[in-house]
Chains A and B, each alone.
Chain A
Amino acid sequence: MSATNGPSTGGPECGGPSTGGPERVGPECGGPGTSAAIAVDVFDPTPPYEQIRRQIVALVSSGALGPGDRLPTVRQLANDLGLAAGTVARAYRELEGTGWLRTRRGAGTRVGATPPRTAADPAAVRQLADEFVRRARFLGADDATILRRVTDALS
């Protein structure tokens, strides 16, 4: 997940996605269970439910939320964010539909046991590879060495 999901504004509370994506924050925002937090910008053109959905996907993808971690109830999260319950419920529903979350009566909403892997963005991967090659050449490595190191890293 790229770091462009959340609203771009950061702030002092619960470590909002000040760099554009969700972030793992200190214990003050979590406690037992998870210390992850999300932020919603109501003036962002992206609908709030989509901001929530994207940030939870990013938190799961980054490992900030692990399989089986319990998430707040729809009402709790909606109240904390000052949003309608239906907005959070829609985000949860879509995440359940794609296997990121599962909700069971009595057990609450949890991160799915095997969350789907996100498809890598080809352009982003290419950009990373170009950057690596450029910097390796700057250090004096030849193409064969670069290739060998990449192969080593993959194994």
Chain B
Amino acid sequence: MAGPLVALLVGVGMVVGVVGGGRRAEPAPVALPLRAEARRVVRWSWGGLALGLAAAVALSRWDRLGRGLLLAAPVLGLAVLAGTLGGELAVTGPTGGTRRAGLRARRVGDYLPRRPSALVVLAIVALVATAVGAILAGSDDDLGRAGRALTTSCSPDTSSSRGPWPGWFYSGPLLAVVAVGLALAAVALRTVVNRPRLTVAPVAVPVSEDAEGGDAEALALDDALRRWSARRVVAAVAMLVALPLLGTASVAAVALAGADCLPAGGQVAVAALGLVAPLAAVLLGWSAQSLLMPAGLRAGSGAERPA
């Protein structure tokens, strides 16, 4: 029942991503060496995505109790983060005798997609709150697996257990992976901002309009690439948290709704979990769309510097 609804919401998220936040990086026509260096960054990131997809598929088949499925999307996010970080680290600094740098201070906020980033922060908070709440409310299942069941008491003498429940058994590993992912994302964003500018090999070109124009294009490409990478980092974090949030919230809501005697505040929790699911689905759609978005580094208006 929930499957088609989730698919519909993810689809809506992708449409929102394409129509609203899905502005593509402007094609940046620049000198071939620059484009080659930029493509290296892009290739790293796509490589991370491919590796992540393979790892996610392999992981989803592990553990019949669903932990592999739960961790598949976070592992995909981790791989994209690692690939993006690798690409940004691969940008080499200037090596000529005379090195130039603008004095404009670059900040992470300059490159982040604002609204999706805010949604991702909201999703992180929701995931941590859901996971911690589930860990605190969970109890051992019939085989003694920690936090895999929800036990409710209708009277002092009777109690019933329902599962699966996203307690420690599921949320423990999930929170560990998410923590690693967030740390990696922080490093990746710092690297996106602080890495050297894309530069061509130093050549003795006299200052001219053409040369200045060429530099403007190089700077545009540099900024576009940073924006693309930053968007990818946010999308990877969205992937890291959105699907687990969707799964955790859905499973918890189903377990709570089916409990014989809901604990105090149970109805509120069910309603809150119901609100979280659409957020996660929309974010997931945006993430998928962003991760598949090309970097837009194709040749443009012919401003290539002659060899």
- A63 located at the interface, meaning its Cβ lies under 8 Å from any Cβ of chain B in the complex: no
Residues of A within 8 A of B206 (CB): 10, 12
- Known contacts A14-B215, A41-B98, A82-B95: does B104 contact A32 (CB below 8 Å)? yes
User: Could you tell me if A30 and B102 are in contact, using CB atoms closer than 8 angstroms?
Assistant: yes
Contact among A16, A56, A59, A71 for B98, CB-based, below 8 A = A16
User: Could you tell me if B194 and A39 are in contact, using CB atoms closer than 8 angstroms?
Assistant: no
A interface, size bucket: 35 or more
User: Could you tell me if A73 and B194 are in contact, using CB atoms closer than 8 angstroms?
Assistant: yes
- B39 located at the interface, meaning its Cβ lies under 8 Å from any Cβ of chain A in the complex: no
Residues of A within 8 A of B99 (CB): 39-40, 42, 80-83
B interface residues, tally (CB under 8 Å) = 33
- B263 located at the interface, meaning its Cβ lies under 8 Å from any Cβ of chain A in the complex: no
Q: How far is the CA of A108 from the CA of B215 in the complex (A)?
A: 27
User: Could you tell me if B214 and A76 are in contact, using CB atoms closer than 8 angstroms?
Assistant: no
User: Could you tell me if A42 and B97 are in contact, using CB atoms closer than 8 angstroms?
Assistant: yes
Q: How far is the CA of A73 from the CA of B199 in the complex (A)?
A: 19
Most buried by A among B95, B102, B199, B219: B102
Tell me the smallest distance from the CB of A54 to a CB of chain B, in Å. 14
Q: How far is the CA of A16 from the CA of B205 in the complex (A)?
A: 12
Tell me the smallest distance from the CB of B95 to a CB of chain A, in Å. 6
Q: How far is the CA of A29 from the CA of B95 in the complex (A)?
A: 19
User: Could you tell me if A38 and B103 are in contact, using CB atoms closer than 8 angstroms?
Assistant: yes
- A112 located at the interface, meaning its Cβ lies under 8 Å from any Cβ of chain B in the complex: no
- B216 located at the interface, meaning its Cβ lies under 8 Å from any Cβ of chain A in the complex: yes
- B218 located at the interface, meaning its Cβ lies under 8 Å from any Cβ of chain A in the complex: yes
- B43 located at the interface, meaning its Cβ lies under 8 Å from any Cβ of chain A in the complex: no
Q: How far is the CA of A34 from the CA of B104 in the complex (A)?
A: 5
Q: List 20 A-B contacts (CB under 8 A).
A: A9-B97, A10-B206, A12-B214, A13-B211, A13-B215, A14-B101, A25-B102, A26-B216, A29-B102, A30-B102, A33-B105, A34-B103, A35-B102, A59-B103, A73-B194, A77-B101, A80-B94, A80-B99, A80-B197, A82-B94
